Amino acid sequence: VFMKGSPAQPLCGFSNAVVQILRLHGVEDYRAHDVLQDPDLRQGIKNYSNWPTIPQVYLNGEFVGGCDILLQMHQNGDLVEELKKLGIRSALLDAKKDQDKK
């Protein structure tokens, strides 16, 4: 994730939203790069992805999108499937299973 701030201290609402979505899915172990620390990185990642905004999310080195795309993937279930392809079981699946037992 290329973001403003860090997962422990996001410095914009969109970066915070990405961190929260990943947390909901139980994804805690990922690399985050604070683009505010390096103006060249901030512009370079925008040029690389041809995406004008930060944060930017990459799964397995492949550009996924920004906050809006990750939110959409979270809402429609695509993020669960993408994580599964990476061998990551979304924590939401377990939460749903627990809910179904009630």
For residues 96 and 1, give the distance between their C-alpha atoms in angstroms, rounded to a whole number. 26
Binding-site residues for [2Fe-2S] cluster: 12
Tokens of 29: 């172990």
- Supply the Cα-derived Rg of the chain in whole angstroms: 14
Omega before 39 cis (within 30°)? Answer: no
- Are 49 and 59 in contact by the 8 Å Cβ rule? The answer is no
Binding-site residues: 12
